[in-house]
Structure 1
Amino acid sequence: MRPLLVLVLFLTLAGCVPAGDPVQGLVCRTALVALHPEDSAFDVAREIGDPDGRGVSVVYTVTEPGGRSRRARIACRFADDRAADGRLDLVFVAQDGAPLSETRLFLLERYWTDRGADAAIFAPPRPSALAGDGLALPHGGVHAVQVAVAALTTGSLYGLLAVAYCLVYGLIGRVFLAFGEIAIVGGYAVAIAVGIALVATPLVGESAVYAGLGLGLVLAPLVAGALARLLAESVVAPLAHRPGYAMIVASFGLVIVLAEGLRLAQGGAELWIAPGRIRGLVLATNPDGATATITLTQAAAITLAIAGALGAILLVARTRFGRAWRAVSDDPQAAALMGVDARATLVAATTLAGVLAALAGWFVVAHYGNISFGGGLLLGLKALVAAILGGIGSLPGALLGGLLLGLGETLWSAFLPGAYRDVAVFLALAALLALRPGGLFGDAHPGSQRV
């Protein structure tokens, strides 16, 4: 698991380059408007501060009237650093590497940037990326970094929910399908927490959203954990050792009940939060200006998902609850003779799985910005595919299976028609079950297993 942590840390820190002074950045963005024809459209990608505090560079895309969009860059230097009086006095401007003449620089400052607020209202907004160019890579390298970020994002979500499935399957040898919908319940709790922060606090914009996400990180595990415990007591434990397909039928019915309950309570439309401008980090850049980025909420979601999955794995491996879980999983009769309460262990494991599902719901809202009552079934089925891929019943295998599934989906979307992606996923599952029923990290020829 150490390489996973190193990769997450690299993706989080690779783009951390000091940002420029925001007022100097505004002056430079104001200047770029004057250097292009009237009615040009701008989209600022990055704003980079010079190490000495006396300069700012702006990388942007410009679409001039009657022309095509192109990447451009403007570099501004000032008389003093950000702590001195001359920090807003332009002494040098270069457009796409070509310095402006002294005459053009004088006219720019005299008749445009020196007009203050009158000119600043035309400046394009600050970029969504925080700062920096990241690693300098060729075009293929930038594309590979962006694919890796997308794969890690999707894979960590699947892996987290796959661990939740394995916590229950490892004890009773049966699949409880409702964790996808429990994740959606947790996601609705997060969205409601964001709404509370927007309405009931003095915070506005991004600050309110981030405060709501923080509140949701507390509220969602409480709600989803309580729901999972209720279902464990009333459905999972009574049906744990019933023969046939009672567990699958009952859990599938719960998926429908929870989805319809959310639809009746919250409406059929998707619920969106108001993220404002999503800020992020530039991880890599190529000479043509293409970038690989990761948003702050995306990095937080990846970190939380992997930390939650690893925390559950360590809990099972190192704690008293984990010893009970392993004992019941290996031999429930022998565990009972040694005083282990199998029912209490199952209820605790299902509750913990519900908390992991709540973290998955937080992930969906924080990263994608929306939640839908009907999204739990597909999310749960893909997490189940990840658990089977890794060898269902193995917690580390479930996490690795999720990461592999995320990588496969991302590579398919990057190079093949996206409309057939889910078809390919479930065809791959069918082939895997036929060729290696125990999954990639399980027994290649498992004995008779209950479903």
Structure 2
Amino acid sequence: MWRGRDVRRRADLSRPARAGILLVALVLLALAGCAPSADPGQALVCRTALVALHPNGTRIEVLREVGDADARGVAVDYRVAEPGVPPRRARTACRFAGERTVPGGGDLVSVMVDGEALSPMRLFMLERYWTGRGADAAASAPPRPSALVGEGLPLGRGGVQALQVGLAALTTGSLYGLLAVAYSLVYGLVGRIFFAFGEIAIVGGYAVAIGVGVALAASGLAGEAAVYAGLGIGLLLAPIATASLARLLAQGVVAPLAHKPGHAMLVASFGLVIVLSEGLRLVQGGSEIWIAPGRVRGLVLATNPDGGLATITLTQGAAIVLALAGALAAIVLVAGSRFGRAWRAVSDDADAAALMGVDARATLVGAVTLAGVLAALAGWFVVAHYGNISFAGGLMLGLKALVAAILGGIGSLPGALLGGLLLGLGESLWSAFLPGAYRDVAVFGALALLLALRPGGLLGDAHPGVQRV
């Protein structure tokens, strides 16, 4: 009897308890439903960024991911153990331009690590060169990146790869060919190499970077539009700066040494490379100058069934067109203008040209000035396509262009352009299928073999006589 009443009493008392437990569970479920959930794509981008924000060898354990209420950000709480430092909890918050499904929403606009924001430069480097890979892999069938437009041609995997490799070859090849034509303009007249055009191109690149800075600071535009406006300003400033510099060097160095015996021209041009490089370092600083174009708009050229893309950006396309147009314009100018007739006359026989009233010195100064304008276009190319400029970049750029000129037959303007395109193709093929660390070894080794077999290059004389350097 008492036992039955006790059981019933316990049963009666358990009913409100069960009701309370059910009420608490419902409240917790409601709160969980109200808490913002992290967007999978944004969370993956932010997790990808964690690796770049800590030193090599760091162990990271993600604890939770919380989305912002406006669906424009995600915060990742994690445990981090950096080398030589006790483990600790950390929090990284990533903010995006908008929802991932909105055009432009995937752009990373800020990153906070334990409440401290990354600098604009670190954010740009992180967004452009690191987290983009994670953003593209956010889902098994991710939406097309908002920065790309067009559907492209449907091709197989090999077709897309071949198209992308060919585009890379055209990009670097047009840059090398442009500067190679500048070298050939001078060598074709005096038979000597003036090696400073690589560094003159860097001067033009700094002029472009200054133009971008002016546009960002003074215009009412913002972001990508301001960068495009700055590149337009730089396209006006750079030729003025480099043409003036090249003309000064032509009158003060090239013309006086053009017909001196020995290697005075080559030694002087190497000295000018050092002077210009160190001068830029002292005036502009030793660090690289970066422009921040964000996600530059691009065009999809081809796609494959696996989701691979062959793309080209607007600045890349503009750089290729400008480089090829500049090189071809110089070739046409030499082939059909009054200056070109004087250039060819001095190149063939300077003494006979002088007897016919052609001013060889003025022709040489004009050729060096024109080569300086081509170098300005090369500097614009570097800033617009690669997004940065450095005082130390002229030496290797000039050396590659000189290799292209020799490959095509130095002194031949069409040969210089052809040599640049072939050099770009060789580098791109090697980088696509073979270890990139040995690329320059293969390029310069092939050049040595070519010169041993055909010293005049592809379009030069097969058996040239003694050449002046």
Q: TM-score range by the shorter chain?
A: 0.7 to 0.9
Which letter does structure 2 place at the counterpart of 1:385? V
Structure 2 Cα separation of the partners of residues 398 and 291 of structure 1: 32
Question: Residue 455 of structure 2 aligns to which amino acid in structure 1?
Answer: P
The match for 2:41 is 42
Task: Give 3-state SS (helix, strand or coil) of 1:284's partner.
Answer: strand
Structure 2 match to 1:327:
345
Please, which of 161, 165, 177 is the counterpart of residue 143 of structure 1? Answer: 161
CA distance in 1, matches of 2:175, 2:315: 13
Counterpart of 1:133? 151
User: For the Cα contact (< 8 Å) 1:40–1:63, is it kept in 2?
Assistant: no
Aligned to 1:80: none
Task: Pick closer, same or farther for the CA change 1:242–1:42 going to 2, 3 Å.
Answer: same
- Given that 1:163 and 1:387 are in contact with CA atoms closer than 8 Å, whether structure 2 keeps it comes out as yes
After TM superposition, give the deviation of residue 118 of structure 1 in Å: 4.7
Give 1:259 deviation, angstroms: 0.1
Residue matched to 2:432? 414
Of the three residues 288, 294, 308, the one matched with 2:306 is 288
Among 211, 223, 240, the residue aligned to 1:222: 240
Task: Sort the Cα spacing of 1:40 and 1:252 in 2 relative to 1 into closer, same or farther, 3 A.
Answer: same
Q: Distance in 1 between matches of 2:221 and 2:46?
A: 38
CA-to-aligned-CA distance 1:136-178 (integer Å, 9 cap, x gap): 0000000000001100000000000000000000000000000
Q: Which amino acid aligns with 1:159?
A: G
Sort the Cα spacing of 1:213 and 1:244 in 2 relative to 1 into closer, same or farther, 3 A.
same
Distance 1:236 1:253 in 2: 13
Q: Corresponding residue for 1:385?
A: 403
State the partner residue of 1:29. Answer: none
Can you list the C-alpha shifts for 1:306-341, whole angstroms capped at 9, x where unaligned?
000000000000100000000000010100000000
Q: Percent identity?
A: 78
**Equivalent residue, structure 1, for 2:13:** none
Cα-to-partner distance string for 1:196-233 (whole Å, 9 max, x where unaligned): 00001111101110000000000000000000000000
Describe how 1:52-451 pairs up with structure 2 within 5 A.
118=70, 121-124=98-101, 125=105, 127-451=145-469
Instruction: Give the 3-state SS of the residue equivalent to 1:42 in structure 2.
Output: helix
- Correspondence for 2:65: none
CA distance in 1, matches of 2:450, 2:356: 38
Assess if the C-alpha contact under 8 Å between 1:194 and 1:216 holds in 2: yes
Amino acid across the alignment from 1:42: G
Stretches of structure 2 that go unaligned for 5 or more consecutive residues are 1-35, 48-68, 73-97, 107-144
CA distance in 2, matches of 1:143, 1:128: 22
CA, structure 1 residues 228+41, in 2 after alignment: closer, same or farther (shift >3 Å)? farther
Q: Which amino acid aligns with 2:173?
A: G
Aligned to 2:22: none
Retained in 1: the 8 A contact 2:39–2:71?
no
What secondary structure is seen at the aligned counterpart in 1 of 2:456? coil
- Cα distance, 1:42 vs structure 2: 2.6
Does the 8 Å contact 1:166/1:394 carry over to 2?
yes
Instruction: Report Cα offsets for 1:352-387 as digits up to 9, x if no partner.
Output: 000000000000000000000011010000000000
TM-score norm. by structure 1 comes to: 0.75
Query: In 1, Cα distance between the equivalents of 2:70 and 2:334?
Result: 63
Ranges of 4+ aligned residues in structure 1 off by more than 6 Å: 61-65
Instruction: Indicate conservation of the 8 Å contact 2:198/2:398, yes or no.
Output: yes
How far did 1:424 drift? Answer: 1.5
Letter in 2 for 1:199: A
| Unaligned stretches of 5+ residues in structure 1 | 1-36, 44-60, 66-116
Query: How many Å separate the matches in 1 of 2:275 and 2:40?
Result: 49
Alpha-carbon distance in structure 2 between the residues aligned to 1:304 and 1:38: 48
Residues 128 and 166 of structure 1: CA distance in aligned 2, closer, same or farther (over 3 Å): farther
Aligned length: 348
